[in-house]
Structure 1
Amino acid sequence: MSRKKLRTAEPTGAGAAPTPTDFASGVFSDEILLHILAYLSHRDLTRLGTCSRTWHRLASDQTLWKRLFLRRFPLECLAQPIPAGSPPAGEVRVRRRTSGMAGPIMRERRDFLSMYILQHNWNAGNYVVTNIDVSLPVAAEPVLEPGGVRTATDIDCALPVSTSRHLGTAPITAFTKDVILVALASPDVAVWSINHRAALGSLSRISVEPSMVLPRVCCIQLESCSALGHPHLRVVAGYDDGSWTVWEMWGHDGLSQWGCKELITVTQAQRVGLVAVTMMDNIVVTCSSQFDVAFHRITNALKRDNTQRRWESTLIHRLRGSTCWPPVDLHLTRAGGKYALYIAYASPSYGNEWNVSLDQITFSRADGLISSKHFSPKTTKVPMTAEFTGIRFRHPYLVAPRRDNTVHVYTLSGAQLTHTTILYAHHAAVTALELDGVTAKLITGGIDGLKIWSLRNPVKPISTVDRDWIRQFEKEESLDQIKRPTYVGFDEGRIVSVSESLNGRLRSGTFCGMEERREIEAGPLVGLKIFSFLDES
């Protein structure tokens, strides 16, 4: 016969022994406990915070995590006093962290606990991945008149089973904190919400004549209109017939109903395809496959009868080159009333070698072209015969991967473009890259995964995410059937990658928050992956 354990009554009242919670809050003051906790590591503080509410409050103190953050991530822009109005010691605002909050958290520099978690996850490769198939065309409600409002159409973002179509080229993608734009083999641009993991609608050209052959999108860029006084987004898309279109959309943040309108479409008589496009304020810069760089200013002016306003384009300046050596990257900056355009491109040299070149064009709306500069790095002793697979310039860094699996890094300092280092980490050619010059963060993507670099210390990658590519590489016999990332973008809390899936592949994982395993029929699909570094389950 088993005996039950007798329970003794615990003493209560003035002579009762203090509980652990009473010991923390009654015996020692918070100042003494925080002084003791300052000797603990981030792992010890995390374990201690799970003991009780009192210890969780003390272990979440901002002064503790500020010291840990600045000790491990010594960034000069963050090594300053906490701004006024920050939470007092031991008091933390309770909220569910999401990757969409990473940007405000890093800019405000108040919640050092969340800042530490975010940067630790980046360095350790801890993330939550979401897979979305964006290969299906996104429908939008018809617009009755040009410039009208398009309403959002709810599209099921679950992985389709039987619908797919062949894509002749890689998808063209652009990314910002709220939306992702994907253009397939059509003139339309699909708009997807990151927070809702669903399609909002599509951007279509209304001013194109029905008899014309539908062009294909070659390049896209997103631009925020916050500098113009309203929270809208503008999208510029360049096409293979030399034309370009500007849209404006709103409701992408989920606070209101999504809508968009076409502002202007500019066609070219020569019908030479565009390879790069960029936009800032009302300035649009395009680069064609013949290295014809055109500077446009768009304005909303009245018609001649003064009854209706319409958008018009004015050519500010045009630069013509003898030939174009892709890849090409355009980066537009503003300083006061002047604009600086940086054109990074590949250039051949002697002995069948390839090098990079950088042009800086300074102009203004009123005066047009002001000055131009050309930068070329000095030749190195190492032969560079491999062609470039991509190029990106974000001041002061220029990054250019080559077909020999290397990534070359250059730095612009004054009037000199210097070859800084070569990154050796990929087992195959880099097919996608993105760069942030302010934080010196670089992400390169290939069949062996996405690698995160810090150009301040580019000895080895900080971490590697999405290792599914290398597992597919080991199983496939033909390199042509491997699924490669064709685009990668990132912000403070997320990485977005787009790739073309292989044929007849059985995939499993988390699709729109659900564990699923589905068979994909023949035909390449466009897969979108979102890696979130601050999401809490």
Structure 2
Amino acid sequence: MPKRPASESPEPSSKRHRPNVVPYIKRLSDELFLRIASFLSISDLTSCQRVSKRFSRIATDGQIWKALFYRRFVRPRASRIPGVSRAPPSSLHYSSRNSRWLEDEGLARTSATNWKQLYRLRHNWNRGICSISEIDITANEPLPPLPPPVPPLLVRLHEGMVFTVDSTHGLCAWKWRNSKKSLIANADLYQSSLDLGSYGAPTAMAIDEDCDATKAVNITVGFENGGFCVYQLDMEMSSSTFRLRYIDPRNGPSPGNSSHGPMIISMAYCTPYLLTMTASQLLTTYRFEGSDDIDIDGSKGSAEDRERMMHAPKILTSLHSHTVWPPLSLSLRRSAQSSVIACIVYAFPLYISGWSVGIQELRFSDDADGVHDSRIATAVPSGFNPVPNMSPASPPAQSSVGSKSHSQANNVPLAQPTCLSYTHPYLLASHADNTLTLYLVKSTASSVSIDSGQRLWGHTSGVSTAQVSSRGKAVSMSTRGLELRVWELEGGVSEKRRLNASVRVESSQAYKGNDVVEEWRGDSQGWLGGFDEEKVVVLRAKDEGRQALIVYDFSR
């Protein structure tokens, strides 16, 4: 077939050239893009992170999440402060001024704050979302022939570290990093002059609230005979170790009579002050001064060890009470007047009308050896009458159904508290009738007072333990450890917030990698060990006398 002439061949179609035009959104500078992204919602910001690297960088910018953090977590707190709550809403807009950030001022000053991670942490607390890990503390060694304390293992959480102490495993410090747990230090309690026969099992533990956890942590442990020891966890060494700093040379009653002896049941520690309470209701305040070269193990040891030993503390007060009932709570804090305030919160019965709580404050100064001031207050309202006069000549006034006067509301009997937790200005009491009571303590230079209290509902079974922080965050636990709730109690709880003041943290099933934390049975028993900004630690009793630490991590 002859070829077609070149003139008759079809001309190739010209290619369609796309104009090399940059999309308008890419022409925007990062500053304008950041301004637009500041108006997006949380879900839109999350979607933007999956578009491109630039979108992800803009959507995770710290200034955006800083403003979101302020609007959701700081401004609602500021609106509950007296005086600020009556301010117009326009005056509570986002501000970078540190004075508007309340206790979060330190976070606002720090340039390296990860605001998105911090927002996620607070969000998880509000929703009760967390990951759960477990440490199985199996007691293979035979238990000593002594009645174990309740709980058998004492647990405290401080600056991300978990401290445990018992007569079998001694004093231990655990660390959690990215859900990986490790034992960083361990010390045998019964060494040298400290023996099990004379001191008995540990019954109380307190951690110094005034120490720098990046350098050293001071821990004090109380025993059945009323004695105590002070340890220091040195964090600056290559391998963290416990150092024994002081042994109380006390010979109390035999452990078999510990129920009637001066067993230490509660402690509070704030360098250089130590506050102890015994089972015989003896409140003692100590103050440590200087160091000493006490011989611990029969040899003088190195100069460094001698410098770390402390002199015997000076007893500032020793008070005995016949009206204090358990449970009770001890605390130490520093005031603005350069003094230290020691507080004891206790329960006491009312005549055939339930229970109430009281507080006693003892003020100390570093330049005096005694009590500078002492004040007492109770939550019993003025004019309270436990047995109202009901004579036929003066019948009670009739009231409509559903109405209740203020005096009648205050006269509602309260069940005996199962636990008391006090961190100024919040006092939280748990009860076996599924409720909690929140009290606000007002302490000034001249007086101290407690309000009548607010009842809190949310638990479906009796509440065994509860703890509250100075910012109003609280954690409570049911008697059998089946229900853990987180509370936001800052500024008190109004009627509108009462139903949403807590959220339940589900603990029936939790996953860590391929391991499954066992379900809690109905007869399992648990104790609340403490909580911080990221974690909650619970001690759980398991089968065959085993124990486990359950860590609820809200940062993931």
TM-score range, shorter chain: 0.7 to 0.9
Corresponding residue for residue 54 of structure 2: 54
Unaligned runs of 5+ in 2: 1-14, 82-91, 99-103, 142-146, 254-261, 385-408, 510-516
Counterpart secondary structure, 1:208: coil
Per-residue CA deviation, residues 388-437 of structure 1 (Å, 9 max, x unaligned), is: 11001111111111111110111112532012311111111212221112
| 2:487 paired with 1:453 | yes
Distance (Å, rounded) in 1 between the aligned partners of 2:207 and 2:281: 22
Counterpart secondary structure, 2:56: helix
Distance (Å, rounded) in 1 between the aligned partners of 2:205 and 2:214: 21
Corresponding residue for residue 290 of structure 1: 280
Distance (Å, rounded) in 2 between the aligned partners of 1:167 and 1:208: 22
Match of 1:371 among 345, 370, 373: 373
Match of 1:485 among 526, 530, 543: 526
| 2:476 paired with 1:444 | yes
Does the 8 A contact of 2:430 with 2:465 survive in 1? no
Does the 8 A contact of 2:199 with 2:227 survive in 1? no
Per-residue CA deviation, residues 354-399 of structure 1 (Å, 9 max, x unaligned), is: 1111111111243221111111012554443522110011111111
| 2:547 paired with 1:526 | yes
How far did residue 30 of structure 1 move? 2.6
Does the 8 A contact of 2:157 with 2:532 survive in 1? no
What is the identity, as a one-letter code, of the residue corresponding to 1:389?
T
How far did residue 224 of structure 1 move? 5.4
Does the 8 A contact of 2:132 with 2:550 survive in 1? yes
What is the identity, as a one-letter code, of the residue corresponding to 1:113?
K
Match of 1:127 among 120, 124, 130: 130
Q: Rate the CA distance shift 1:525–1:105 in 2: closer, same or farther, 3 A.
A: farther
Does the 8 A contact of 1:432 with 1:488 survive in 2? no
Per-residue CA deviation, residues 207-252 of structure 1 (Å, 9 max, x unaligned), is: 435583451111111125646x98100001111211111001123x
Match of 1:247 among 202, 223, 231: 231
Distance (Å, rounded) in 1 between the aligned partners of 2:531 and 2:97: 26
Counterpart secondary structure, 1:56: helix
Distance (Å, rounded) in 2 between the aligned partners of 1:81 and 1:281: 35
Counterpart secondary structure, 1:113: helix
Unaligned runs of 5+ in 1: 1-9, 84-101, 139-165, 504-522
Match of 1:169 among 124, 142, 150: 150
What is the identity, as a one-letter code, of the residue corresponding to 1:247?
Y
Corresponding residue for residue 468 of structure 1: 508
Corresponding residue for residue 395 of structure 1: 424
Q: Rate the CA distance shift 1:57–1:402 in 2: closer, same or farther, 3 A.
A: same
Does the 8 A contact of 1:205 with 1:245 survive in 2? no
Per-residue CA deviation, residues 117-136 of structure 1 (Å, 9 max, x unaligned), is: 22112112222221111244
- Please give the residue correspondences for 1:192-203 in structure 2 after superposition, counting only pairs within 5 Å: 192-195=174-177, 196-203=180-187
Distance (Å, rounded) in 1 between the aligned partners of 2:238 and 2:294: 35
Does the 8 A contact of 1:426 with 1:448 survive in 2? no
Corresponding residue for residue 466 of structure 2: 433
| 2:201 paired with 1:216 | yes
- Please give the residue correspondences for 1:409-424 in structure 2 after superposition, counting only pairs within 5 Å: 409-414=438-443, 415-424=448-457
Q: Rate the CA distance shift 1:383–1:487 in 2: closer, same or farther, 3 A.
A: same
Per-residue CA deviation, residues 98-149 of structure 1 (Å, 9 max, x unaligned), is: xxxx9985773743322222211211222222111124479xxxxxxxxxxx
- Please give the residue correspondences for 1:315-334 in structure 2 after superposition, counting only pairs within 5 Å: 315-334=315-334
How far did residue 185 of structure 1 move? 4.8
Distance (Å, rounded) in 2 between the aligned partners of 1:111 and 1:123: 19
Counterpart secondary structure, 1:293: strand
What is the identity, as a one-letter code, of the residue corresponding to 1:262?
L
Normalization by structure 1: what TM-score? Answer: 0.74
Distance (Å, rounded) in 2 between the aligned partners of 1:194 and 1:280: 25
Corresponding residue for residue 40 of structure 2: 40
Distance (Å, rounded) in 2 between the aligned partners of 1:434 and 1:250: 28
Does the 8 A contact of 2:157 with 2:163 survive in 1? yes
Structure number with greater CO (CA < 8 Å, separation at least 6) is: 1
Counterpart secondary structure, 1:483: coil
Q: How many residue pairs were aligned?
A: 448
How far did residue 173 of structure 1 move? 1.0
Corresponding residue for residue 413 of structure 2: 384
Q: Rate the CA distance shift 1:484–1:425 in 2: closer, same or farther, 3 A.
A: farther
Q: Rate the CA distance shift 1:393–1:444 in 2: closer, same or farther, 3 A.
A: same
Identity of aligned residues (%): 20
Match of 1:81 among 96, 100, 119: 96
How far did residue 33 of structure 1 move? 2.5
Distance (Å, rounded) in 1 between the aligned partners of 2:456 and 2:199: 41
Counterpart secondary structure, 2:239: coil
Normalization by structure 2: what TM-score? Answer: 0.72
Corresponding residue for residue 114 of structure 1: 117
- Who wins on radius of gyration, i.e. which is larger? 2
Q: Rate the CA distance shift 1:366–1:213 in 2: closer, same or farther, 3 A.
A: same
Match of 2:436 among 403, 407, 416: 407
Distance (Å, rounded) in 1 between the aligned partners of 2:442 and 2:209: 29
- Please give the residue correspondences for 1:9-20 in structure 2 after superposition, counting only pairs within 5 Å: 15-18=19-22
Question: Which shows bigger deviation, 126-135 or 418-427?
Answer: 126-135
Q: Rate the CA distance shift 1:421–1:70 in 2: closer, same or farther, 3 A.
A: same
Q: Rate the CA distance shift 1:45–1:441 in 2: closer, same or farther, 3 A.
A: same
Corresponding residue for residue 344 of structure 1: 345
Counterpart secondary structure, 1:202: strand
What is the identity, as a one-letter code, of the residue corresponding to 1:219?
A
Does the 8 A contact of 1:103 with 1:491 survive in 2? no
Q: Rate the CA distance shift 1:107–1:176 in 2: closer, same or farther, 3 A.
A: farther
Does the 8 A contact of 1:62 with 1:113 survive in 2? yes
Per-residue CA deviation, residues 31-77 of structure 1 (Å, 9 max, x unaligned), is: 33333323321111111111110111111223322332222222449
Question: Which shows bigger deviation, 316-325 or 376-385?
Answer: 376-385
Distance (Å, rounded) in 2 between the aligned partners of 1:11 and 1:239: 89
Counterpart secondary structure, 1:299: coil
Distance (Å, rounded) in 1 between the aligned partners of 2:70 and 2:242: 43
How far did residue 484 of structure 1 move? 3.0
Does the 8 A contact of 1:127 with 1:533 survive in 2? yes
Distance (Å, rounded) in 2 between the aligned partners of 1:498 and 1:230: 26
Distance (Å, rounded) in 2 between the aligned partners of 1:103 and 1:133: 39
- Please identify runs of 4+ aligned residues in structure 1 that moved more than 6 A: 304-307
Corresponding residue for residue 217 of structure 2: 233
Counterpart secondary structure, 2:193: coil
Counterpart secondary structure, 1:70: helix
Counterpart secondary structure, 1:39: coil
How far did residue 348 of structure 1 move? 1.4
Corresponding residue for residue 68 of structure 1: 68
Per-residue CA deviation, residues 451-491 of structure 1 (Å, 9 max, x unaligned), is: 1111134513442213329xx9x996xxxx62232124211
How far did residue 495 of structure 1 move? 1.7
Does the 8 A contact of 1:290 with 1:323 survive in 2? no
Per-residue CA deviation, residues 276-306 of structure 1 (Å, 9 max, x unaligned), is: 1111112111111121111112234446999
Does the 8 A contact of 1:133 with 1:528 survive in 2? yes
| 2:287 paired with 1:258 | no
Does the 8 A contact of 2:211 with 2:218 survive in 1? no
Does the 8 A contact of 1:329 with 1:345 survive in 2? yes
Per-residue CA deviation, residues 244-268 of structure 1 (Å, 9 max, x unaligned), is: 11001123x8x73111111111144
Counterpart secondary structure, 2:39: coil
| 2:346 paired with 1:361 | no
Does the 8 A contact of 2:148 with 2:201 survive in 1? no
Corresponding residue for residue 270 of structure 2: 280
Distance (Å, rounded) in 1 between the aligned partners of 2:450 and 2:163: 33
